[in-house]
């Protein structure tokens, strides 16, 4: 299995990535991101800060897992709901001219499912020569979760997510949530939260994340811990206009995952206006949406200068650990 996966990967790399990418690669390659005529420096590498990967072994056991994990059943029980593996993610990135991606799995409830998933995510990060940044799954409702979390970080994970406290049965205002933030802060790890919109239409997986007010409280209690509020933060950014809130959550970032399914086309520009260019990260929510289409959409509305930061530079800084804020 491992040999087969690696051979697919090396084909992709050979065919589409003639230049070896390092963890800190700053410049993209290939025709997809060629510089405009008259400019000297090429465009910064594009970085998709929100994708999902599954272990092939778990994708193959979809029905069995759905029978014991209610949230998984809601989101992936339908065989038409896409579950991507590493070669598929790399092919999607190649097709979009995207250099790197953050890959999270799914917020399983059981320790065995989490262990299987995290091993696969860490393999993906290693096998992709740094193109894939792994966020491990953690469930602070389980006894001994700290050991599993620290083992994932030691194995190369850059943080945890996509976090769904209410689905997993832990309180984002409770002790375990604060312990998770302290663990993340001690290791420079990033926390990616599924923020649940309190209003609007229903969709699989909408409920069970963290509410905007819960995330504001938690982030304010742990200044300096880097957190990402997915899906434009579910309206949380409005409260950045309150000076004391803005000051309290200065290390909270926002990603654009799946925004066209939730908001109108100008919503990302409004978020950039509220949060600032440096705190917004392009994320596609692949395989739910196409990275190529989402990237082109964002580049069109943001313009080149803002897109350089939002679609690449910000994630590079955040996930390389070279924070400058």
Enumerate binding residues for Zn ion (CB under 5 A).
194, 230
CB of 229 to Zn ion, least distance (A): 10
CB of 164 to Zn ion, least distance (A): 8
CB of 207 to Zn ion, least distance (A): 11
CB of 50 to Zn ion, least distance (A): 8
Q: Which two tokens stand for residue 55?
A: 């272990």
| Nearer residue to Zn ion within complex by CB, 30 or 77 | 77
CB of 275 to Zn ion, least distance (A): 18
CA atoms within 13 A on the CB side of 296: 9
Question: Which among 107, 127, 94, 105 is positioned nearest to 28, based on CA atoms?
Answer: 94
| Nearer residue to Zn ion within complex by CB, 25 or 280 | 280
Question: Which among 102, 12, 115, 31 is positioned nearest to 315, based on CA atoms?
Answer: 102
| Nearer residue to Zn ion within complex by CB, 33 or 279 | 279
The whole-angstrom separation of Cα 205 and Cα 285 is 13
The whole-angstrom separation of Cα 222 and Cα 185 is 8
- 160 strand-pairing partners: 136, 191
| Nearer residue to Zn ion within complex by CB, 194 or 226 | 194
Run of H or E residues at 162:
strand 159-163
| Nearer residue to Zn ion within complex by CB, 32 or 82 | 82
Burial label for 295, CB within 10 Å (0-12, 13-18, 19+), is: buried
**Dihedral sign computed on CA atoms, order 254, 255, 257, 259:** positive
| Nearer residue to Zn ion within complex by CB, 209 or 312 | 209
| Nearer residue to Zn ion within complex by CB, 17 or 54 | 54
In the bound state, the residue with its beta carbon closest to Zn ion is: 194
Q: Which two tokens stand for residue 153?
A: 């970080």
3-state secondary structure of 54: coil
CB of 114 to Zn ion, least distance (A): 17
CA atoms within 13 A on the CB side of 302: 26
CB of 162 to Zn ion, least distance (A): 5
């Amino acid at each position: 299995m491992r040999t087969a996966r690696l051979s697919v990967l090396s084909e992709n790399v050979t065919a589409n990535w003639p230049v070896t990418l390092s963890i800190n690669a700053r410049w993209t390659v290939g025709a997809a991101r060629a510089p405009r005529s008259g400019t000297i420096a090429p465009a910064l590498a594009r970085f998709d800060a929100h994708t999902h990967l599954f272990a092939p072994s778990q994708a193959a056991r979809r029905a069995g897992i759905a029978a014991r994990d209610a949230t998984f059943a809601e989101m992936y029980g339908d065989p038409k709901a896409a579950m991507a593996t590493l070669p598929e993610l790399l092919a999607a990135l190649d097709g979009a001219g995207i250099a790197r991606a953050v890959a999270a799995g799914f917020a399983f409830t059981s320790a065995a499912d989490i262990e299987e998933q995290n091993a696969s995510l860490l393999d993906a990060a290693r096998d992709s020569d740094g193109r894939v940044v792994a966020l491990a799954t953690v469930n602070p409702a389980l006894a001994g979760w700290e050991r599993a979390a620290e083992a994932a970080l030691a194995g190369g994970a850059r943080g945890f997510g996509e976090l769904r406290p209410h689905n997993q049965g832990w309180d984002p205002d409770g002790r375990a949530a604060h312990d998770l933030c302290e663990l993340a802060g001690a290791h420079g790890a990033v926390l990616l939260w599924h923020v649940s919109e309190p209003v609007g239409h229903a969709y699989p997986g909408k409920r069970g994340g963290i509410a905007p007010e819960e995330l504001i409280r938690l982030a304010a209690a742990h200044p300096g811990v880097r957190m990402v509020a997915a899906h434009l933060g579910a309206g949380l950014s409005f409260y950045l206009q309150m000076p004391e809130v803005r000051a309290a959550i200065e290390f909270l970032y926002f990603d654009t995952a799946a925004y066209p399914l939730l908001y109108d086309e100008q919503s990302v520009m409004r978020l950039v206006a509220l949060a600032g260019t440096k705190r917004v990260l392009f994320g596609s929510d692949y395989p739910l949406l196409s990275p190529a289409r989402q990237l082109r959409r964002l580049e069109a509305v943001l313009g080149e200068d803002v897109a350089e930061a939002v679609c690449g530079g910000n994630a590079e800084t955040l996930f390389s650990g070279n924070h400058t804020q």
